[in-house]
Amino acid sequence: MSDAAILPAVDFTPWPGALADNYRARGFWIDRPLTDLLGRASEPAAAAVICGTRKFSYAELDKLSSRLACVLATRGLKRGHTALVQLPNVAEFYVVFFALLKLGVAPVNALYSHQRLEMTAYTEQLRPALMIGCGRHQLFSSREFFCDLQVRYPDIQLLVLGETEFAEDLAMLLEGSAQATEEHRADFLSAGDSPPASIAQQVAFFQLSGGSTGTPKLIPRTHNDYHYSVRRSAEICRLSSETRYLCALPAAHNFPLSSPGALGVFHAGGTVVLADSPEPGHCFDLIARHKVTMAALVPSAVALWLEAHHRLSDERPLNSLRLLQVGGANFAESLARRVPAELGCQLQQVFGMAEGLVNYTRLDDSEEKIFTTQGCPMSAADEVRVLDEQGRPVPDGETGLLYTRGPYTFRGYYRAPEQNARVFDRDGFYCSGDLVQRDAAGYLKVVGRVKDQINRGGEKIAAEEVENLLLTHRDVQQVALVSIPDAGLGEKSCACVITANAKLKPPQLRRYLRELGLAEFKLPDRFQFLRALPLTAVGKTDKVALRAMMKSKMLQKKREESA
């Protein structure tokens, strides 16, 4: 019997054997666990993370995560368990992440902007043995949310970090655990240990899908696939121990975690500088203070940086910045061109997804490629097909749907057979719902999407999720959530509502959603009351027509306002 059979593991859809063999033979899968990424730093005393006035060396990050793994082991957590974690951009995010990986507990890292509904949905799907939250977050500032959950899931444990009343201080928690760490060492992996190869084939953690359905989906990521995507990303971006990376996007998101993100920086032995948000004043200060060399942003934040930078007279806060990565949403060519010219650093476009495939423009690509495309797949083993609606390949340069499979693209959402049947084709290619054009060299341009999702400055909103919630309001008869163009964020959301109650007002509906516990960024930016929704030939809501209607209504309103 192989050791894979005796280790308890989280279930997931594996890659077919022939592909897995191929990825291994070509050196993409190296059968190492993600904890390995921490242990490689040749200089253990070098700074791994800078968080406010606190600095954590590689040795400290390793030690703290081992101690936390030990504390959690004494509380009964073990390999095969899962955890739901919600932390802001603080060093503890990485301490917790590595602690859970060492223990073999697979975490899902919720976004800090998530609220009761999202956290409850993840709990229902995952049945985690442990929840880790931050005492500063509304959900964990009292015991109410957790006690409600515990009624339904009595076995779930809670660890709240921070300084509030019932939160535990991580430093205190870990103090005195040094002794126990040695005793419990056998229970978990330490960076640099040689674990059984089978561990690397298993689920390390879950990424969050941007979603297009009623319930948010979880994406199992294995050690092998994620390890490879981190290594290859670090190589493409030429990270080194000199890299100082500004993490200003939510640390849990795939882009700042692995493209190459913080994990890529750890792999290269560089330093991650944490920012609370991409706000330019805050970030410029951190960049100047810590001589940051690289940052990752969504397009809407780039626009703010350009504007703020323009206002500075002769200060040069971005002097040390060499590379700015931009991705997560559509990036206008006009803005792209301004990045090197005004911020004085190189631009890299990144088109990725939590499900796997990440495309980069390369550092030695021509300016034209960098300004006008979203890059090409990172791996020689990434397979991309651009197909029409009948599943036939479209010629280069023409628009089609993106299908992909490869050594770090998942093979199925966690326990979601119906959704998997919809988004995977017979050959195991995942359809991302993006409309792309591919050139002869394999570079992609993202030109639209067919999935029912709104991309609000990089934050993804599944229309169906918000529609289903609005439909539970007694005055809402029909509803459709569509995107409307926005100068700042690229897109905002508009809920088109049919109601018989002439007195119903947007603030009531917004309050209703907020009280249900929906994340703030998913609350519709606009409500439009209509008499009827346009329908397609088969009787479904015609969102294409609806978007066009909303766009012209907005233009008309603008004209009226300026007249």
Helix 506-516 to helix 463-470 angle, to the nearest 10 degrees?
110
What DSSP designation does 395 have? P
Query: Least distance from C-beta 469 to ligand OOB, angstroms?
Result: 21
What DSSP designation does 320 have? T
Nearer to ligand OOB, 170 or 230 (CB): 230
Query: Least distance from C-beta 233 to ligand OOB, angstroms?
Result: 9
Which two tokens mark 187?
A: 């229970």
Nearer to ligand OOB, 362 or 510 (CB): 362
- Dihedral angle of Cα 125, 126, 128, 131, to the nearest 10 degrees: -70
Nearer to ligand OOB, 46 or 435 (CB): 435
First to last CA, the chain: 78
Nearer to ligand OOB, 128 or 328 (CB): 328
- Decide: helix, strand or coil at residue 107: strand
Nearer to ligand OOB, 213 or 349 (CB): 349
What does the alpha-carbon distance between residue 61 and residue 74 come to, in Å, rounded to a whole number? 20
In sequence order, the β-bridge partners of residue 444 are 438
Tokens 């390949």 sit on residue = 393
Query: Least distance from C-beta 432 to ligand OOB, angstroms?
Result: 4
Q: Is the bond leading into 260 cis (omega within 30 degrees of zero)?
A: yes
What does the alpha-carbon distance between residue 110 and residue 83 come to, in Å, rounded to a whole number? 10
CB 56 within 8 A of CB 64: yes
Q: Tell me which residue of 531, 521, 527 sits closest to 550, measured CA to CA.
A: 527
Which two tokens mark 131?
A: 């929840």
Amino acid identity, residue 149? L
CB 430 within 8 A of CB 403: yes
- Decide: helix, strand or coil at residue 308: helix
Nearer to ligand OOB, 207 or 541 (CB): 207
**Closest CB to ligand OOB belongs to which residue?**
352
CB 230 within 8 A of CB 263: yes
Nearer to ligand OOB, 349 or 493 (CB): 349
Query: Least distance from C-beta 92 to ligand OOB, angstroms?
Result: 23
Nearer to ligand OOB, 270 or 458 (CB): 458
Query: Least distance from C-beta 307 to ligand OOB, angstroms?
Result: 21
What does the alpha-carbon distance between residue 286 and residue 142 come to, in Å, rounded to a whole number? 32
Tokens 């390999």 sit on residue = 79
What does the alpha-carbon distance between residue 322 and residue 243 come to, in Å, rounded to a whole number? 10
Query: Least distance from C-beta 265 to ligand OOB, angstroms?
Result: 15
Nearer to ligand OOB, 108 or 446 (CB): 446
Query: Least distance from C-beta 365 to ligand OOB, angstroms?
Result: 15
Query: Least distance from C-beta 434 to ligand OOB, angstroms?
Result: 5
Can you give the binding site for ligand OOB, defined by CB under 6 A? 210, 254-255, 259, 327-331, 349-354, 358, 374, 432, 434, 446, 449, 455, 460
Nearer to ligand OOB, 73 or 354 (CB): 354
What does the alpha-carbon distance between residue 24 and residue 531 come to, in Å, rounded to a whole number? 58
Nearer to ligand OOB, 280 or 352 (CB): 352
Q: Tell me which residue of 411, 349, 325, 335 sits closest to 16, measured CA to CA.
A: 411
Query: Least distance from C-beta 352 to ligand OOB, angstroms?
Result: 3
Query: Least distance from C-beta 383 to ligand OOB, angstroms?
Result: 17
Query: Least distance from C-beta 273 to ligand OOB, angstroms?
Result: 19
CB atoms within 10 A of CB 256: 28
